[in-house]
Chain A
Amino acid sequence: MSKKTLTLMSKDKQLFNIEEHLAVQSVTIRNMVKEDGASSVIPLPRVDSETLALVIEYLNRQQAPEEDEDYVKKFVDERGEIPTLLELAQAALDLDIKKLMDAACMKVADLIKDFTLEEVREALRIENDRTPEEEKAIRDEFQWAF
């Protein structure tokens, strides 16, 4: 196994080193490495340094395969704040790390499932784009839901 190291650069220009064989768990990085050897720095313009640090921690895990599921679950559980989880999920989506994205999305779903509509909007950065008339029409139509 090659011990070659890659350098990833976050949105805020911080540099992170990671061994290539660990980094290629990300399908996006794997494809970059295949294409150009990725000798230079790999920029990740949508991932901030805090999130990238988490992703690196995740990629560096040393888990036996049979314990991996539990590890991933615990990993996201310990970062149970929705904004952090969303950043993590978005980074995992960009980097194509399926397990991490699944776990983060599952955790967010668990957290929001008992939220009110307003809380859901707030948590998931959504603007309520309905006019009061539309809102009323929907509330009338779905009156049983309120």
Chain B
Amino acid sequence: MEALPAELTMDILSRLPVKTIIRCKLVCKKWRNFVSDSFFVNLHLSRSPLVLMIQEKDKYSYFPGILKWMEIEHKVDHHDLRYDPLMSLDLNMISVFQNSLINQMGSVNGFICLWQFSPKLKFSDTYICNPVTREIMILPRQQQNYKQGFSTVAYGFGVTSLTVEYKVVRIFKSSRPSVLEADVYTLGTGQWRSLGPVPYRLYGSRGEFLNDRFHWIVYKKKDSPERICTFDLTSETFQLFPSPPSETIDESYRPSQSLAVLKGCLCKSDSYGSQFSLWVMKEYGIKKSWHKEVVITHSISHGLGRPYLKAISLTEGLKDGSILLVSMGKLWAFYPRSKTIEEIEMIDYFASVISYRPSFLRLRNFESESFNQKTLGLVYGLPNSYLQTGLVNGPARPGPNPVFGRSNPGLSPRTGNRSGTRAEPGKPGLNPKPGPETGPNPAGTRAGNRSEPGRNPSPTQPGFDQTRV
């Protein structure tokens, strides 16, 4: 029996659900290598369907919360959401996150940017994580961290399409009153660079990423009607951007406006009085192409109470394009054709929701010679136990959420090295930077060099046992 060509096998594999792919690493040695092959990783990413990452947490206590993995299932006339506890990520179980606040600040190509703030320990940090490969990377801490961390106003996380550079932009209040400043960090470079003052006063914490730019709503300036500013990842500059007319009568009521990227288009939503409207920029950058796509009036939305909606994701199952909305601790679907709105899922009242495209891209590919091992580049393996693959060999595990109670839930720099998935030689995944390839590090070196006790705020937390793992 002739073996299938690798290309064909990888093509089939790339169409399977993420859980099944992880499980398929056990089929044979070749398949295990396929999953980290850059051809496979990119192929999979190109067809990986969006899921929602819903962060649920208690607003008034310092629990990091849970990143809940919610798959969107398209049916003929409606959409179902399917919560997958096995693929979800319990941030509470990661010891470096304990007693701190965690916010998801953006996601691109399967990576999620997390902002951590610990009021007790007086610091804030930025992490990039890939829930699929179970990697998490901590970025170097900025100077004057605590004060500025506390007043961080916005983040942007995206990737340049041409040079494939992943960049994090962090915007914070500077020491001067009412002046915002920005820092940028390119993954793999090992240092934050200052961009100086931000020329606009922006609000909203997550920059919406589209066409190599972040987008934020800004306070109105006297000399310009534009209400949106962008940050170009390549030129690293801020500028105003063509905006739709503002509908909010009371300009001071800002929380009623938000931006989103729906089906590849920049959108701006406006809630005022009892009406919600959604503007879509049909042609990117063309002011005239702003089109008012959706109006939800009180007669449609009375079930929602006061309509305070944030459009988050346009589902693609229907030709007339229904929209997912987050409001009042619930997820709603709006169907433009029938002009109806339907509650499809209860979520936590303070939950934040982002669209997330699962991928097998590896954070460890960002390691380079320039990595200063003392200050950055801690790539941890997440606890093995939180991630499970499809249990196709047997019945589903009984009981609720069995994953988190298993052994070694703590996060340790050594956990990852035990995981064969990370120590594997062979082809690396997508090489995020052009230039000579640095081979994957032998597994043993990382733990020794990178463990940095000071980074762990609570090494004695229950469930964390550095020596055991």
A residues contacting B by CB (< 8 A) are 86, 89-90, 93, 101, 105-106, 108-109, 112-117, 120-121, 124-130, 137-139, 141-142, 144-146
Contacts and interface: CB of A to CB of B under 8 A. Distances in A.
Interface stretch (B6-14, B139-147, B357-365, B438-446): B6-14
B17 A113 contact: yes
Contacts of B385: 144
A124 B17 contact: no
B389 A125 contact: no
Contacts of A128: 27-28
Contact of B8 (A89, A113, A115): A89
Contact of B420 (A101, A106, A141): A141
Main SS class of interface, B: loop
A105 B7 CA distance: 11
B38 interface: no
A126 to B, nearest CB: 5
Nearest to B23: A145
B4 A90 contact: yes
24 contacts: A86-B4, A90-B5, A93-B5, A93-B8, A106-B15, A113-B17, A114-B392, A116-B393, A117-B393, A124-B12, A125-B4, A126-B28, A126-B31, A129-B29, A129-B30, A130-B28, A139-B26, A141-B418, A141-B420, A142-B389, A144-B384, A144-B385, A145-B23, A145-B389
B12 A145 contact: no
Interface in B386-424: 388-394, 403, 406, 418-420
B27 A105 contact: no
B304 interface: no
A135 to B, nearest CB: 8
Nearest to B7: A93
B7 to A, nearest CB: 6
Contacts of B403: 144
A54 B15 CA distance: 23
A124 B17 CA distance: 17
List the 7 closest pairs (A to B, CB-CB), nearest first.
A109-B15, A105-B11, A125-B1, A145-B389, A105-B12, A144-B388, A108-B12
A117 B3 contact: no
A120 B28 CA distance: 10
Given A93-B7, A117-B393, A129 B28 contact: yes
Q: Which of B2, B5, B392 has the most CB of A within 10 A?
A: B392
Interface string B155-198: 00000000000000000000000000000000000000000000
Contacts of B29: 129-130
B108 interface: no
B32 to A, nearest CB: 9
A129 B12 CA distance: 20
Contacts of B2: 125
A113 B16 contact: yes
B216 to A, nearest CB: 38
Interface string B268-292: 0000000000000000000000000
B22 to A, nearest CB: 8
B368 interface: no
B175 to A, nearest CB: 49
A126 B28 CA distance: 8
Given A93-B7, A144-B403, A109 B12 contact: yes
